[in-house]
């Protein structure tokens, strides 16, 4: 071991302590630098975390706003779903009612079609009956015209024979004053007058018989007229029922074939009625 002087030994100790202190300072500076770097890193991390926290706060606020909007939209959707459910229930109820009404309309349509078929059959039967009655009425009118013509002819003959009888009676009255002169002539005139009176009685009987025939024909015409009126009322009633059925079908929106017009039948019936009523007073005369 080397022996140093005390002063040198002290200097060496000082140098050693200085070196140790220097190393300690360097170590402390290095640690301080590390600490500073760590502090800077932590500061950066804090700044980054603050930025991220603000970003997260903004994101949370945005998400809360979205959640609130979604909740409002959900409530609106729930209201719409409730409204749609009520609308669906109402539409289902209307559909059920429409189906029931459709079934009812189908039943009514079948009934109306059946009624139309019955009315057509009844109308055709009534038209045939009216046609038959019209033909019979025309025949009776023809017979009535023949009887009326024959009655007029008999009236003319009766009037002529009455005039002849009056003339003969006048002549007979004159001849009675001259009976003593013209007895034979008066006898012949009386015979002729008797013949004329017999002819007059026969004409009166025939006229009475024709009057009875005219009365019977008139009663028959009245009966036929009554039957015609009944048939016309029946036709009018059936036409009214059919028109009402057609109007009901049109009101329900159903297609209906047009009805055949019966105006020609009514016109012919009215003309026949007019001819009968106009011919009756002549028969009374």
What does the domain layout of the chain look like in residue ranges? 129-253+267-284
Average pLDDT, the chain: 78
Task: Identify the pLDDT of residue 262.
Answer: 42
The second-level CATH assignment, the architecture, of 129-253+267-284 is Orthogonal Bundle (1.10)
* HSE-CB for 62 with a 13 A CA cutoff: 6
- The first and second tokens of residue 94, run together, are 């209307």
Q: How many helices (H) and strands (E) does the chain have?
A: 3, 0
- The first and second tokens of residue 182, run together, are 């013209």
φ, ψ for residue 259 (rounded to 5)?
-80, 150
pLDDT higher than 50, residue 269: no
- Chain-centroid distance, C-alpha 67: 58
The mean pLDDT value for 169-196 works out to 70
Report the distance separating Cα 269 and Cα 199, nearest Å: 43
Please tell me the chain's helix, strand, coil percentages from 3-state DSSP, rounded to the nearest 5: 90, 0, 10
Give the orientation angle of helix 263-284 with respect to helix 183-251, to 10 degrees.
Answer: 160
The mean pLDDT value for 187-203 works out to 78
Task: Identify the pLDDT of residue 278.
Answer: 44
For the stretch 169-178, pLDDT in tens is 777 677 666 6
Q: How many C-beta neighbours within 10 Å does residue 259 have?
A: 15
The answer to whether 154 and 203 have CB atoms below 8 angstroms apart is: yes
Rg, the chain, Cα only: 68
The answer to whether 151 and 210 have CB atoms below 8 angstroms apart is: yes
For the stretch 92-146, pLDDT in tens is 898 899 889 888 888 888 888 888 888 888 888 888 888 888 888 888 888 888 8
For the stretch 44-57, pLDDT in tens is 888 888 888 888 88
């Amino acid at each position: 071991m080397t022996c140093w002087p005390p002063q040198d030994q002290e200097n060496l100790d000082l140098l050693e302590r200085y070196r140790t202190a220097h190393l300690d300072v360097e170590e402390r500076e290095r640690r301080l630098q590390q600490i500073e770097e760590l502090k800077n890193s932590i500061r950066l991390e804090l700044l980054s975390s603050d930025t991220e926290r603000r970003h997260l706060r903004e994101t949370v606020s945005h998400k809360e706003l979205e959640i609130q909007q979604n909740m409002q939209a959900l409530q609106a959707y729930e209201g719409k779903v409730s409204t749609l459910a009520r609308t669906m229930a109402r539409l289902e109820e209307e559909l059920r009612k429409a189906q029931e009404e459709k079934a009812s309309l189908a039943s009514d349509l079948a009934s109306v079609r059946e009624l139309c078929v019955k009315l057509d059959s009844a109308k055709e039967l009534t038209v045939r009956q009216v046609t038959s009655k019209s033909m019979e009425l025309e025949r009776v009118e023809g017979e009535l015209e023949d009887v009326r013509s024959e009655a007029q002819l008999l009236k003319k003959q009766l009037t002529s024979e009455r005039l002849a009888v009056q003339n003969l009676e006048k002549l007979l009255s004159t001849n009675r004053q001259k009976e003593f002169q013209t007895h034979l002539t008066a006898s012949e005139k009386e015979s002729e007058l008797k013949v004329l009176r017999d002819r007059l009685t026969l004409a009166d009987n025939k006229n009475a018989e024709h009057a009875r025939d005219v009365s019977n024909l008139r009663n028959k015409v009245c009966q036929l007229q009554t039957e015609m009126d009944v048939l016309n009322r029946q036709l009018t009633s059936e036409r009214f029922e059919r028109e009402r059925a057609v109007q009901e079908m049109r009101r329900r929106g159903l297609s209906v074939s047009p009805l055949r017009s019966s105006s020609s039948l009514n016109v012919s019936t009215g003309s026949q009625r007019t001819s009968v009523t106009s011919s009756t007073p002549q028969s009374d005369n």
